[in-house]
Amino acid sequence: MITSIEPKAGSWILLVGPRSLNSTMLTAIARLGERCSLRVLDGGNRFNAYTVARAARGRRDILEHITVSRAFTCYQVLSLLESTLSTQAPFVVLDLLNTFYDESVQIGERKRLLRSCIAHLERLAVPSAPRPAEAASCRHQPFQWQEPLNSAEAAVSGDSCRRNSRWQHDAASASGGLPRGGATRRPPRLVAGGVVSVHPPAVPSQAAIELLSLLQASAVDTFFAQPAASALEPMRLF
């Protein structure tokens, strides 16, 4: 079963889950790279080229669709978003809040930086006029999540995820497939939109809650992915 989430022009989706969600995110990046150009902005050093290449079955044409930029401080995250140009390509931000959990930076400063980052996420979600090469080679498709490979990655299956809006279950209809009666396929719809992932900090804090609330207030949808419960081990008396 494949559940799809469709980023739409002018909006971005927030996905909150454990660190184990990252491998599923990387697989999804490879799947989306099969369909159009994709920008990956890595805020937590989570991008693993080998995992993506394996999910892409080593296809160079898919890997060439994916561009990756990294940031290692909350200041660099803002600088990275500021320098990213608006295009037709959707974007994925991995682990956006990771550097914002750095308590050596005052919480007021972190909030200020995050608000500026959110403004740039909104800018990047709006598609710019396509270049001819993009118009010829890229068609927007829903962001697709493969069935998790193990219980630790059961972050986006139907029963393990809470959300504040609706799931998109039909990838074909969401992406504008062939109309009934064999009519001609509609022209490609080139939209930006994006997906932002975050994970809770190792030590919960009020500051982390406030930062997450800022993101939730601006995201069009928020998904809370829960890891599958592990099997209980038998009690040992000796």
- CATH (domain of 87): 3.40.50
pLDDT along the chain (238 residues), means of 10: 59 91 88 88 93 91 92 97 93 96 96 98 86 47 39 32 32 35 46 89 91 95 72 45
- Rounded Cα distance between 205 and 226, Å, is 19
Question: Residue 190: what pLDDT?
Answer: 53
Question: Is there a domain that residue 236 lies in?
Answer: no
Question: Is there a domain that residue 112 lies in?
Answer: yes
Question: Is there a domain that residue 234 lies in?
Answer: no
Bin 176: left if φ > 0, else alpha if -120 < ψ < 50, else beta.
left
Q: What are the residue ranges of helices labelled H in 34-150?
A: 49-55, 60-63, 74-83, 107-125, 132-137
Rg (CA), the chain: 18
Nearest partner of 13 among 164, 175, 238, 117, judged by Cα: 164
Question: Residue 171: what pLDDT?
Answer: 29
- C-alpha distances (whole Å) from 74 to each of 105, 112, 191, 228, 238 are 9, 11, 28, 31, 49
- Rounded Cα distance between 213 and 131, Å, is 36
Q: Is the pTM of this model over 0.75?
A: no
Q: Which domain holds residue 43?
A: 3-175+189-225
Question: Is there a domain that residue 182 lies in?
Answer: no
Question: Is there a domain that residue 88 lies in?
Answer: yes
Residue 103 CB coordination number (10 Å): 11
Question: Residue 10: what pLDDT?
Answer: 85
**CB-based burial of residue 200 (10 Å sphere; 0-12 exposed, 13-18 middle, 19+ buried)?**
middle
Per the document, the length of the chain is: 238
Question: Is there a domain that residue 183 lies in?
Answer: no
Question: Is there a domain that residue 77 lies in?
Answer: yes
Question: Is there a domain that residue 54 lies in?
Answer: yes
Domain count, the chain: 1
Nearest partner of 199 among 12, 3, 16, 14, judged by Cα: 16
Question: Residue 24: what pLDDT?
Answer: 86
Nearest partner of 115 among 44, 223, 213, 198, judged by Cα: 213
**CB-based burial of residue 73 (10 Å sphere; 0-12 exposed, 13-18 middle, 19+ buried)?**
middle
